[in-house]
Amino acid sequence: MFTSLSRGAAALTLLAACCGQAFGYGAVGHNTVGDIASQLIQGHRAAAEVKRILGDISLRDIAVWDDCVKGIDPSKDFQYTSTGRFPECAVFEKPDEEARMRQYVQRNLEQCKPKAGDESCHKQYHYSNVAIQRGRYQPGAVGTSDHDLVPALKAAILVLRGGPETPPMDLNEREALALVAHTLGDLHQPLHMGSIYLDANGKVYDPDKQGADAQTHTVGGNAITLPKPDGTPGGNLHSYWDGLPNRLSPAQLAAMPAQAKLVTPTGGSPDRWVDEWASESLLQAQLAFDGMRFGPRQQTPRGSRWAATPPADYDTRSTEQVRLELIKGGARLAQLLMSIWPDKP
């Protein structure tokens, strides 16, 4: 599956899309998912409940909140240190909103008992690192935890349904809505769910069958470098995927709410939807790595790195894949919110 489809692909124009801000899907992607859902729930009870919780903050804006909170610096007395850096966070850069961000980070910093080298707990709510060989999300597999994207999203849904908090996540109603809106975007960014593991020679490795080995972990593609047009190392694969929504035209983005209305609703119990969507995202991650060749592992001051050579059609293929994932993400966020707050008879 991972053998190259083309050997003349080194000089791609990948760099332009891989070096923006490293937020999952970036502002364009998350805003788009929130905006699609906002339009689809209009006239339904879910829209009124979102308004009750958020007030003047839109679903489009709150969809980036869980990335904006990364501007809270625990080493600086939990002060917000990113003022003016990210335009999408401007709506939250006032005293009452910064206080909300600060309180969230204080409650969701270390209560999950992060291991040495792990990110803060709330940052781990954004992703899983399941080996793409699994084909479906399986709790307990390498790359999962009780506070990765899937259990964090489920915990947030439970809070919105009026249920109890699910440790180690510590969420109030507004934080839960923000997390649901954000992680539905992350869930539809394939490299936020699936990860490829590579050995020292750049060969695909299965950590669940061959034994967990931290040296093989590409961290959701963050340790995989892409070539610049001149063949020298450029940005990383994960950032490339985060930035792909920026390649979509205004017309493509504007058409998404109407296209989202055509997405087939997920059937069965809503309690199973998150697992189904996570498993589907793993299959999308397999496509994201299909046709890619990897060089041997290189040790750098920032850890292990593998140079990748994508197939010749990678830009076109991945941009279309992300376009479709954004549409599904927005449709599913709307479906989820309307299942949490169904219209009354």
Question: Domain containing 262 — which CATH number?
Answer: 1.10.575.10
| Residue 5 domain-assigned (yes or no) | no
Question: Residues 243-271: what's their mean pLDDT?
Answer: 97
Q: How many CA atoms lie within 13 A of 194 on its CB side?
A: 26
pTM of the model: 0.92
- What percent of the chain has pLDDT above 70? 93
Please state, in angstroms and rounded to a whole number, the distance separating the CA atoms of residues 81 and 34.
25
The pLDDT tens digits of the residues spanning 75-114 come to 999 999 999 999 999 999 999 999 999 999 999 999 999 9
| Residue 167 domain-assigned (yes or no) | yes
| 278, pLDDT greater than 50 | yes
Contact, 304 vs 297, CB < 8 A?
yes
| Residue 197 domain-assigned (yes or no) | yes
| Residue 230 domain-assigned (yes or no) | yes
| Residue 76 domain-assigned (yes or no) | no
| Residue 185 domain-assigned (yes or no) | yes
| Residue 116 domain-assigned (yes or no) | yes
Q: Which residue has the higher pLDDT, 9 or 284?
A: 284
Say how far residue 206 (Cα) sits from the centre of its chain. 23
| Residue 309 domain-assigned (yes or no) | yes
Domain containing residue 42:
15-71+111-340
As for how many domains the chain has, the answer is 1
The pLDDT tens digits of the residues spanning 159-214 come to 999 998 899 999 999 999 999 999 999 999 999 999 999 999 999 999 999 999 99
The pLDDT value recorded for residue 302 is 83
